[in-house]
Amino acid sequence: MSYAAYKMMHWPTGIENCASGFVTNCRADFTPQIPLNHTEDLESDWSSRSGIGPVPNLIVTAANVLELYVVRVQEEGTREARNSTEVKRGGIMDGVSAVSLELVCSYRLHGNVESMAVLSIGGGDVSRRRDSIILTFQDAKIAVLEFDDSTHSLQTSSMHCFEGPEWLHLKRGRESFARGPLVKADPQGRCSGVLVYGLQMIILKAAQAGSGFVGEDDAFGSGATVSARVESSYIINLRDLDMKHIKDFIFVHGYIEPVMVILHERELTWAGRVSWKHHTCMISALSISTTLKQHPLIWSAANLPHDAYKLLAVPSPIGGVLVISANMIHYHSQVDFHCLGMSWSSIFFQELPRSSFNVELDAANATWLLNDVALLSAKTGELLLLTLVYDGRVVQRLDLSKSKASVLTSDITTIGNSLVFLGSRLGDSLLVQFSSGSGASTLPSGLKEEVGDIEGDVPLAKRLRRSSSDALQDAVGSEELSLYGSTPNNSESAQKAFLFAVRDSLINVGPLKDFSYGLRINADANATGIAKQSNYELVCCSGHGKNGALCVLRQSIRPEMITEVELTGCKGIWTVYHKSTRGHNADSSKLADDDDEYHAYLIISLEARTMVLETADLLTEVTESVDYYVQGRTIAAGNLFGRRRVIQVFERGARILDGSFMTQELSIPLPNSETSSGSDNSTVMSVSIADPYVLLRMTDGSILLLVGDPATCTVSINSPAAFEGSKKRVSACSLYHDKGPEPWLRKASSDAWLSTGIGESIDSADGGPHDQGDIYCVICYENGALEIFDVPNFNCVFSVEKFASGRAHLVDAYSQESSEDSEKSINKSSEELAGQSRKENVHNLKVVELAMQRWSGNHSRPFIFGILTDGTILCYHAYLFEGPDNASKVEGSASAQNSVGLSNVNASRLRNLRFIRVSLDAYTREETSNGTLSQRITIFKNISGYQGFFLSGLRPAWFMVFRQRLRIHPQICDGSIVAFTVLHNVNCNHGFIYVTSQGILKICQMPSTSNYDNYWPVQKIPLRGTPHQVTYFAERNLYPLIVSVPVHKPVNQVLSSLVDQEAGHQMDNLNLSSDELHRTYTVEEFEVRILEPEKSGGPWETKATIPMQSSENALTVRVVTLFAFFVLFRGKKLYLDSALLQNTTTKENETLLAIGTAYVQGEDVAARGRVLLFSIGRSTDNNQNLVSEVYSKELKGAISALASLQGHLLIASGPKIILHIWTGSELNGIAFYDAPPLYVVSLNIVKNFILLGDVHKSIYFLSWKEQGAQLSLLAKDFGSLDCFATEFLIDGSTLSLMVSDDQKNIQVFYYAPKMSESWRGQKLLSRAEFHVGAHVTKFLRLQMLSTSGRTSATAGSDKTNRFALLFGTLDGSIGCIAPLDELTFRRLQSLQKKLVDAVPHVAGLNPRSFRHFRSNGKAHRPGPDSIVDCELLCHYEMLPLEEQLEIAHQIGTTRSQILSNLNDLTLGTSFL
């Protein structure tokens, strides 16, 4: 591998930071402007709300992913709650029936977010200003982002960088820092502080209202909003204030000027010196004057515990600050001081107030539920409530009580006044609603039966015991919740009772500690090529403690097949409804019935005829007995008139049917039409149906509209007048039905009075048949323009030039921003286009298929999809933007263009409608040939409860909509799919039918066990313990896995296990009282579980468990193949040592399970470990004898890694590597290598080469020679490197060594003994280095798929023996490193250099600096830059077509060549 590409395939999911703020709306949007008329606002439809109040946005970051959510609250009894079909979680609380998160925007940044704060705007509750997001990045970069309504995205309002030569003095000579920049904001929004380089405090001064910033209230008039901004910054050197070791800082409430409290340690100590030096921390409060740049000390407090680590600002009216340490909580203010110790805590303060129970508070996260109640999440996942008992502004005491157990949090934030978000890196993040009352009597009756943990009269101790146990967790189910229930309400405490209900969760598959690659249950043994890849799945160890789980990840969907039949020559399939008794249905039951109604007929279009099948219990062909047109192929079929009729459209006509009887036949085009000559041979090309209209596109590029009359159930042909004399040919068209009681597009119309009144006036109690909504026609012309018309009048309401070029935003051409600048650039670029299109055939790039759809959901917005001739899919998401004093500008521009009353046409235009382009980089393009113009997009509303659309074609894929976000999951198991439709009948509940290009029709259902709201479909199997390592036993399809479970043991039992058996020393317990000896201590107990996937896809079954001894940790588990050598002597097998090998010997191989362990008994006991060999039985019926121990042996040192090397067992035991031969009954050492390694973290074998990674000493490359039975060192890396994972990378005949380290880098080395700089072959040379930005814990070598069949690349470029490395990280991301040939690499590298400047990067981050190797202050010679970054290259497809061509021209290549290279890379690495 000389060159490679770095490609992410699954982005990070472990949430590290979360915050809430009014980013997309200001507070005033939530208060009722006109109290009497409940008008629907544009983003939020909350009227005066009693229970839940204004709800801010949620902002979360996971490594380099930033996501902004809006929180949708559904109140019980409102119209949406009645119409909603979504699954509600958590019952009804405070009048709220459901709360969900909806994605506003998501970005992948070129840098990991270190910390985040929300800069809010001070002022009353009805402030018109919005909050901004402050992000910090390594080493000292700060970006301030605000939400821009006009582009519906986050914009950078200011950037602050304190890096580089001119700021070098800030580091004070240090090179490495324990943590990145830490940002906190003043609660009143006057300033914020960023701690960089451990000692430098950067104060960011916020721009005050009315300070003359552009975009101030007076500039926009009264209605507009403006976000918080940063005006200037300056630095405070905390060392000048005699502060050395800063641990945390915070801004406190209730002062006229911002006051910052800093927690710092005067001199360092540690646990071993606490008896001499303790209480070394102190807090200092500085009053920050941003105008004078002064910061006087106003109060301080010393003698805080040495392990204090966190500050929490107490909200007004109390004020002050809480200091949290491992065993104590202190409250400090200028006038007051209180503290609360844990029951075991202070040996120094006997007279302290204590809590009634033990809990360790180190690594806790906290947020405020009320102004006097804080929620703390401990490291065990327990939720604690800390109440400040106060009178006026004086705190009397602190009270701590247990609440429920929940997920292990990494950050926690309160959203509004009744929601809290628990963000987690180790489990799924939860959105929880809480309700506080005076006691359990305030519970809604619905929740009492649901849980059974809420009883007012259970004694306190019993209830505490029960809530901390796992019994409740098991009762509720998955890891998310034991959050239900209230806190104990005992009379002597001033506790408020709280109720919690989980409302929503964001799935997380991190941290991926290890994974294994195995066959799926429903694998197809006959599959070949890319379809074979969907036979596999990735089984990952993820989570920690009680959030530990096995995550089964599959990149592609493999449907559960019900039945299949052969069917050749299929062109299309449709299912239609027919209900004979439709008239008798009451309107009120219509909504409920529609979704559950069974399909009546299946229509199959073949090349020259049509088949009709009845979809009752069995599919029976009824082609002969129905009036359908069956003599030729069908173009489309569907229902009209509320499913009372079926329409079937064929090439020269259409039929309307009632069931199986025809009621009307039309011939198309009309014989007597006076259209242009030659229209007689014009036939129907494509059809779009939206009850009661049918839109037809003809082969001559014209369109016809069939208009239905619901009263008579008949249809008439109408040729739209707007297109009569038009010369523009239509290339694609579609109807869009804007359904619902309040059609969404009406809000975009400039007639604002229309949009508010109608929805209310025609509403009735049952939400019945008048929820018809509006119908629009979306049309794309061959010149690439897009227009939207209203139907049936065909007035143009929205138009865009050059839709096919794929701009980032679509704005109505007649809108106020006639965007002169973009017009100019279009004209300029079209001239260049003409020049470049001689090289590339771009002029025939047109839209061949269009779809516009808004799926159900109270706030859902429409999507537009367009497929271009070259296979590119454009996806746009609609949003509303009401520009400032919009009307006058538009009227002006319209009358200037044409004074003949264009302004009245303008009145009905969707002037506030805009579209933003959505990236589809999870989808692999296919180069379509012009021959395949069949309909590829099939929209579905309910397939097993999911909604979205299915894309058929060469590379079919599912596009599912969750939280207004598209999730794309390919389906590669059947190759190309020619037709698809939904099917709902007795035997196939909400399933689907598709036909493959091989001519097989399959009826399937969606696999129910997977969760599809993730980058890849995932199935989580909870383990209730921490998984450490997993391996795959292919013969029996089993997964052996190391799990550790925390167990509470008495201290004396733990101490007695730390005795050194060999020396026979006894532990002296003199300094421990008997009381302390009987306390419990948590110990991790290890076991190896052998799991088998469930055939039906249900929960996995534990087939066997191998327990470890006490204080023995299992470190590694591997399936190894060992050879036992023997000679036959008088009919008996005599096993031989390899030293005695002769030609007469034969060998038998055994597949065994090898486990390496270590005894962890403290630093006083010499390290020992065991190697265990187990055989796994063949019999499936008896689980008891599934595994049997074959051999165990104790060795000095921990057994940290195992591997089989040419039938021998290689064991890393402490600082030695020993090769053992297996004699059939025991292991005998035959070769060893005494490396200086301290501890081997990974062993990899290829042929007779060994690669080992050490925890501190980088990598070693060894070889094994059978002749002299010796292990010899070939070369090593002389640098110091803390390895995480290693693997061989094979590219044709070249072998490279890959290693990942603790600084989130990867490096590629190679062995070149002939090169002079390799010190005669002793030193490994660097081939590439790259900063991944995440800790890579495991590499897996997989053979790349050949793409030579498709492309006309040079024959030598495609090597068959080419492998890529799939890797998993601790953030929950999965990616791969794939080798490239030099020509492709050079092309993509020059493209990458162009894209650094051509693409506007979010938060102003530079992708080149992000990917530089991080050495954390150690000496490092830079290696070659031979890895391209696909995270940057994927932006190329999102550029407008003109810019794509321009950049390709500048680097001397073509757009199609670049896209082909990127496509080949994606195809070659489609592993799952």
Structure tokens given for 666: 């039309």
Span 1142-1169, average pLDDT? 83
Instruction: Mark out the alpha helices in 837-912 (DSSP H runs).
Output: 886-897, 902-907
pLDDT in the model for residue 1156: 97
* pLDDT tens string 1313-1335: 999 999 889 999 999 999 999 99
Rounded to whole angstroms, how far apart are CA atoms 98 and 351?
48
pLDDT number for residue 393: 79
337 strand-pairing partners? 332
Q: What is the mean pLDDT of residues 136-153?
A: 94
What is the pLDDT, as a whole number, of residue 1136? 57
Neighbours of 702 (CB within 10 A): 20
98-103 mean pLDDT: 93
State whether residue 822 is helix, strand or coil.
helix
Give pLDDT, residue 1128: 57
For residue range 628-677, list pLDDT tens digits in order: 999 999 999 999 988 899 999 998 899 999 988 999 999 887 655 444 44
C-alpha closest to that of 26 among 4, 7, 41: 41
Task: Assess whether pLDDT exceeds 50 at residue 839.
Answer: yes
3-state SS, residue 168? helix
Top mean pLDDT of 584-588, 791-795, 1092-1096 is at: 791-795
Would you say residue 466 has pLDDT above 70? Answer: no
List pLDDT tens digits, range 1407-1418. Answer: 999 999 999 888
Query: Could you report the per-residue pLDDT of 1014-1062, keeping only the tens digit for each?
Result: 999 999 999 999 999 999 999 989 999 999 999 988 888 887 777 655 5
Highest mean pLDDT among 82-96, 466-480, 894-908, 1388-1402: 1388-1402
Q: How many Å apart are CA 1453 and CA 1427, to the nearest integer?
A: 20
Nearest CA to 383 out of 336, 430, 438 is that of 430
CB 1085 within 8 A of CB 1116: no
Token pair belonging to 907: 């009145």
For residue 1021, CA distances in Å to 62, 541, 767, 1186 come to 22, 10, 41, 22
Residues 6+ apart with CB under 8 A from 1397: none
Tell me if the bond preceding 258 is cis, omega within 30° of 0.
no
The H helix count followed by the E strand count for the chain is 17, 89
Average pLDDT, stretch 336-361? Answer: 75
358-371: per-residue pLDDT in tens? 888 989 999 999 99
At residue 506 the predicted structure's pLDDT band, cuts being 50, 70 and 90, is very high
| Angle, alpha carbons 861-867-868 (nearest 5°) | 135
Find all residues with CB under 8 Å of 618, minimum gap 6, and list them.
Answer: none
Lowest mean pLDDT among 70-84, 1063-1077, 1310-1324: 1063-1077
Reported residue count of the chain is 1472
**Contact at 8 Å (CB) between 1387 and 1292?**
no
Label residue 826 by pLDDT band (50, 70, 90): very low
Question: Given a cut of 80, is residue 763 above it in pLDDT?
Answer: no
- Above 60 in pLDDT, residue 133? yes
Least trusted range by pLDDT, from 323-327, 494-498, 1388-1392, 1437-1441 = 494-498
d(CA 638, CA 642): 11
Q: Which residues make beta-bridge pairs with 269?
A: none
Mean pLDDT value of segment 1344-1365: 64
Structure token pair of residue 921: 């980089």
Helix (H) or strand (E) holding 756: helix 752-761
What is the pLDDT, as a whole number, of residue 814? 78
CA distance to 441, 1435, 1443, per residue, from 1399 (Å):
58, 7, 10
Per-residue tokens: 823: 């017009």
Residue 553, pLDDT score? 94
Report the alpha-carbon distance of residue 820 to residue 816 in Å, rounded.
11
Cβ atoms of 187 and 120 closer than 8 Å? yes
Q: Mean pLDDT in the chain?
A: 83
What's the rounded mean pLDDT across residues 903-919?
79
Please give the average per-residue pLDDT across 929-941, as a whole number.
76
Strands 1146-1159 and 1168-1176 come out as antiparallel
Contact 505, 480 (CB under 8 A): yes
